[in-house]
Amino acid sequence: MIGKLNHVAIVVADLEAGTAIYRDTLGAKVSAPLELPEHGVVTVFVELPNTKIELLYPLGENSPIAKYLEKNPGGGVHHVCYEVDDIEAAAAKMQAAGARVLGDIKIGAHNKPVLFLHPKDFCGTLVELEQA
C-alpha cells in the first residue's frame, strides 16, 4: 500500500542554523521557510536526489513541535512520511487494521492531503501518509 519515502522530518531548535547546516555544510538545496498555521509549524524542505528532509520549527505557543522541543531541547527525528495513492482508502485500511489515525485528513506542506498514524502502532515511529 505505501509508496516511496517522501521525507524524514527533523525538529530543529533553531531553523536558521538547521537550514545553514544542510545548505552550507552539506551543500544541499533548501527551500524558503513556509509557515503552516493549521499544523503549528514552520517548515523548510531539503532536496535530496531520492527524497527530502523536512526541518520543522514551532509556529506559535500551541505548536506540537514546541512540546516536542520541551522534551527534546536539541531537536531530533520527528516522523517519516510515505506516499499513498488514495489517502481516504489508506485511512480506512489503517483503521480496519486497528491502527490509530491521529486527527482528520488535512492539507500538508506540499498542498496534498495528509494524515498521521499513532507511533505506538508503528514500532514507536510517528508516520505521516501523503497522497501522491
Annotated active-site residue in 54, 83, 128, 130: 128
Task: Give 97's DSSP letter.
Answer: T
54 carries an active-site annotation: no
| Alpha-carbon separation of residue 63 from 37, 57, 116 (angstroms) | 9, 9, 16
Which residues, at least 6 apart from 118, have a Cβ–Cβ distance to it below 8 Å?
99, 100, 101, 102, 126
Helix (H) or strand (E) segment spanning residue 87: helix 87-96
Q: How far apart are CA 63 and CA 52, in angstroms?
A: 22
β partners of residue 43: 34, 56
Q: Which residues are catalytic?
A: 128
